[in-house]
Structure 1
Amino acid sequence: MDLSRAAAAALDDADPLAAFRARFTGVDGGLYMDGNSLGRLPVETPAAVARVVEQEWGRGLVGSWSSWVEQSRRIGDVLADGVLGARPGEVLVSDTTSVDLYKLLVAGVDARPGRDVLVCCADDFPTDRYVVAGVAAARGLTVREVDAHIDTGLDLDVLAASLDDRVAVLVLSQVAYRSGALVDIAEVTRLARDAGVIVLWDLSHGAGAVPAELTAAGADLAVGCTYKYLNGGPGAPAFLYVRRELQEQLRQPIWGWFGARDQFAMGPAYEPADGVDRFGVGTPPVLAMAAVEVGARISAEAGIERLTAKGRALTELVIALADEWLAGHGVTVASPREVARRGSHVSLAHPQAWQLTQALVDRGVVPDFRTPDRLRLGPAPLYTRFVDVWDAMDRLRTVLAEGAHESYPTQRARVT
């Protein structure tokens, strides 16, 4: 593999997604390698939000609800078709990831009466584990945490051994937040179904960069955020997915008026709406939804196949440069090397990863840090160039060669 900067520039020249870079702000203002935490601002978003503020709210006032009331499903259908591999009417943009996770988890538990165990991954994102623990505590259930390797992720044989006729719901991330280890949704769904277990997927760390193909996999339930690769903005509303065949069987626990059958009848008793609408709760955040719609449509236009292909190529370049330039400085690749087992970010392990992160920020590179000693790089395929990856890695090797990170305080010193 040619690791020269000229070779990286040639990849950019041949990139079928190259034109999308101009549709994001600030792309020439630094080397942003944290698109897996917060995506960039699309150029179209301020005008889209302003249009809602000035025209729909400012002039249309309450009359604009005829459009707003359809937002959740309209954007959901964009994500279903263009990003998630789902069918129309299976995805709803609603609430936060944590709230959606809670709603679907409780609905899944109620759909498996007599089963008293919830399964999750011991190394999963904190919210997932916390929500599982909270539901278990409230319902008198037992939590069974499955161990996973911090770098290579979940062993499916170990997972299979944890699934039996006591398990109601398995909660699992498609992409491990720390290492980027990727789980096969179809294979896990098959294992769970054989045991009569519902699987609730968290797609937050891959949606918009990694294919989910929910319908093809026969997935039951899923949630995910829209502010990472989908570029919906900080704190943007999340999405939830419920397989069409399950929708009428499930009843979520938060009975809000946006999940009611005839919400404007203001009836005396709650009756859930038909289809995926029953998983709504309260009045949606209309302004934030306008930003989500822009990001969702850009990702759908780019196409998940092209996004996946470029994400894999970008992370392959990160790994190749790490092996070539950084191994001699004590840096090791802490993500799966097999491209089919890795999401769209790469973790690098180093005892002083925190100091390296700070040194890079001061040199115009934005990565992020994850405990205990991981420097995480998330080049987003919509707007990150191959030369951006090359330049970021070049600055990292310079920091290491010069020992520039040694002057930075440890994370513990910073916290205290």
Structure 2
Amino acid sequence: MTRDTAARDVDAANPPRWKIVGPGLIVAATGVGAADLVATLIAGSKFGYGLLWCVVVGCIMKIVLVEGAGRYSLATGRTMFEGWRSLGRWTSWYYAPYIVIWGFVYGSAAMAGTGLPLNALFPALSVTWWGIISGLVGLALVWFHHFEIFEKVMAAFVGIMFVAMVGAAIITLPNLLDILAGLKPWIPDGGLVNVLSLAGGVGGTITLAAYGYWLREKGWDTPRFMKVMRIDNTVAYVVTGIFVLATLIVGAELMHSMKIASDDKGLLSVADVLDQRYGPFAGKVFLVGFFGAAMSSLVGVWNGVSLMFADFIGNLKGLPSGHPDTRTGGKYYRWYILWLTFPPMLMMFLGKPVYLILAYGVLGSFFMPFLAITLMWILNTDRVPREWRNKAWSNVLMVLCAVAFVALAANEIVKAIQKL
């Protein structure tokens, strides 16, 4: 029995539990990378548990947006980029330079993000060289058309990052009352950017739009998979929320209480403090979790965003939807993997890994308003069958997402102008 046949045999009304978690876990794991860890640890170090409510809001935002992307793909059988093109040529003008620039910055940020914990664990090689090795490993893992292998690799990284980071949080013995107090919404003085960054950054930016492509690769490609898609998406972001909560706990209990600096040395000092407080292996657990999160994000982008780029080129060339050149293993797919891997290696020698990671996070903020606004536009028109269009609650939540992301992008523009 082929993969596609097996996938289509899933009873959409009552799917077996082991088939429920699929592409959603991939998109969530891809979205939680080094940039999210840095942002969350810094938020914990500055405000303790005060911004926990942002984690909850961020997860709800991403559930709404990813569900919208998945609903469009299943309801229409079209890719996300086909939906964007239906809105006019302006979407291509926005998307084309963005995906090229983003890929260059992200490639270096992702490799730097994996290099940091690997260098701390195995200092014989520098952050730069560990990052380059990680990029090459990511290339090897996604170069060929083996979605089942890719899915298993991602599941393994999710397991590593989840168990390690949650374990690190548990051994710090967090104060439960302080955690609960963090669910009360508030914006600290001068902390609006931290609020928006934490809520907007939990669980991905451009990778959210890759969800529909992974649904197609999985074989979930008709409306009968709508229920299983929604369960898949919700479970994935609940797992993400727990992981980010664990990271916030580590930041609050260690970086905040010990006044550890919020830079690459400070982040790695967390591992030293864990070793000193809880034994020689506690810090290693934290670093392994950091690596798992960073590497899952790298491998996920090398696959998912490359599929988006391949579909973009295929659309520009007028190729039919699903053409082999636009799928996993196709030439356009491989072009982007090479772009993600080799040119960004030059930036690795700048020697500022955390700055690269944060630059990626800033750049990602410019995609989220585009995704939120275009999804709301598409899902309220006849581009989608009436039964699958947005309901009132979806529109309210997407408007809130769009406003938050526009505010974050505007803030980044103002900061960039002030630095000129």
Instruction: Report 1 or 2 for greater relative contact order, CA contacts < 8 Å, sequence distance ≥ 6.
Output: 2
TM-score using structure 1 length: 0.29
Structure number having the greater helix percentage: 2
More strand by share: 1
TM-score, length of structure 2 as denominator length: 0.29
